[in-house]
Structure 1
Amino acid sequence: MSFNKPISEQSKIYEFNGFTLDNWLNPCADPSMCSALGRSIEIGLLATLLATLLGTLAAFALVRHQFRGRSTSNLLIFMPMAAPEIVLGSSLLAMFVAAGLAGQLGFWTIFIAHVMFCLSFVVVTVRARLAGMDDALEQAAMDLYATPAQTFWKITFPLVFPGILGAAMLSFSLSFDDFIVTNLNSGNTTTFPMYVWGVSRRSVPMQINVVGTVMIVVSLAIVLIGQSRARRQAG
């Protein structure tokens, strides 16, 4: 459908009318679509960076340390994953209103909201990697007089990194794709899912299919590259 040539602006997006490369050659025929897409990518990258950093630190704390309130922390981490998005989005909106940000909803409130629900997925993913990791190599490194910093960067971090990378990719996917939480906390800011929802009431630009195709190709490329590297390392 990304190569579909619409007969008119009212052409349905899933009716193939003819082959064309115009959609690929002019992906920003509707400038507002590219603006919304860029905004979603920017928010997704920033939210992924912060959520991955905080979530990784929290996962290490929950797995490697005993402290008062540990079980309560586990419960709080799982709550955003269990709660319906409409509940999470409305709760965050209530928090922003209570903080006096009702008239300032936009890019940064979306960013904070995305970090809040991505954080739980990062903690769970990295925690699973840490819990299943054998600490024999870390103990061997310390027996060979490695400092705690050397042990972490040369042993622990490389072993945990696949889990951190997977958590980051999951966070970006969740942030980029989110609509409900974003819609409640966006103000006048438009992200790509909100743009798609808005234009679906009228005529949907064929360039949306170009974005979808690129996302699928990039996702498959990441999976294939990861499998290729794993096979080379195993060989």
Structure 2
Amino acid sequence: MRWIAVALLYLMAAPALAVTCEDVRFEGKRFTTCTVDAVSETLRLFHRDAQGEVLGSFRAINADLDDKQLLFAMNAGMYHEDRSPVGHYVENGVETMHVIPNAGPGNFGLLPNGVFCINDDSAQVYETRAFIDQAPACRDATQSGPMLVIDGALHPRFLPDSTSRFIRNGVGTNADGTQAVFAISNERVSFHEFGRLFRDYLQLPNALYFDGKVSRLHAPALGRSDVGFQLGPIVGVVR
């Protein structure tokens, strides 16, 4: 029985997993979700290295981290051809792109869009105009769009019978900002289906779309690290 006692002591001493990734099904569609404890985990954005070069991939970030390691990562917002952020971007307190409040072409300009704001012990999704009004301090921030869920309601422009379907990814946060849940579809879904995942399955009050087509996930706990086109902003958790 001694080995049982030792095992119990080990489990009691081991830290709780604060990043949990799992494959899920919702309404017959396949998704992967990664839940991050924003209070205890080092959640941050990545764009350029110390020499100013765009990182662009999970492999490059891991190499840049040296003795550390990405526990989770995902592309985190739309970007131009030079891979610079389309909207508001702040990394480690340094703003490189201002907030864009006005409507425009493409998914980013399909208002309302939003801002994902990260601090040392919290993470929150804000609708952009609410973000401007409240002016919260953010250590890291990335603007994207459209919003998927706004105060418990789906984006008003989403159509239940839409035929526009892509691999999509995004993030939602709980009311007090202690938890961020990232999701990527593992098959083509509409905005309405993706928004319902956050609202009805994950039951999060606010959620933000990151991108489609180029959506990728790094989840080593699942043996997964997607490759493809070079990315712009990336969000990740560092061990």
Whether these two folds match at TM > 0.5 is no
Shorter-chain TM-score range: under 0.3
The structure in which a higher percent of residues are helix is 1
Q: Which has the higher contact order (CA 8 A, sep 6+)?
A: 1
Normalized against structure 2, the TM-score is what? 0.23
The structure in which a higher percent of residues are strand is 2
Normalized against structure 1, the TM-score is what? 0.24
